Amino acid sequence: MTKSATFIAIISSIVLIAILSCSPKLTASKIPEKGPVMAVTLEGAILHYVNEHRNSIGLISLETNAEANRQAYQHSKDMAERKTGFGHEGFDQRMQAIKQKEGWITASAENVAYGQLSAKEVVKGWLNSPGHKKNIEGDYRFTGIGVYKDKKGIIFFTQVFYRL
């Protein structure tokens, strides 16, 4: 590769990173099945599969929110560290923390799961459960997703949904 081609490749990469980093909201659209290797977080992949399902039935994509992600992550961590039981304990407090940052919340819901699961597997599991599927297909605009792996390698998943 010539110096000129290397320089162009580096500049192109910097421009792409700059464009992507300036995006004000995170919505996952397409995870390539083949092609160059790219880092995709488990949370981002969950968002992708949830939005893929929502779009397939005519619903809008959910947008993530930093505070909602923080709350979901902390709940997954608390479940993994056995500070709280597996389930929805503390849900009202999580939504209250999001409300303090975002404003009035008119509706909210939460999905949790655990296991040695991929993003696709956890979303598929939720879609096969009527209550979880109802949350995924609900009239929500925003979401927060958090995952945490315990010492045994078990992953705890939390996804909150809400609308303002």
Task: Specify the 3-state DSSP secondary structure of 116.
Answer: coil
Mean pLDDT of 66-82: 91
* Confidence band of 22 (pLDDT split at 50, 70, 90): very low
pTM summary value: 0.73
What integer pLDDT is reported at residue 110 of this predicted model? Answer: 92
Tell me the Ramachandran region of residue 67: left when phi exceeds 0, alpha when psi lies from -120 to 50, beta otherwise.
alpha
What integer pLDDT is reported at residue 86 of this predicted model? Answer: 75
* Confidence band of 87 (pLDDT split at 50, 70, 90): low
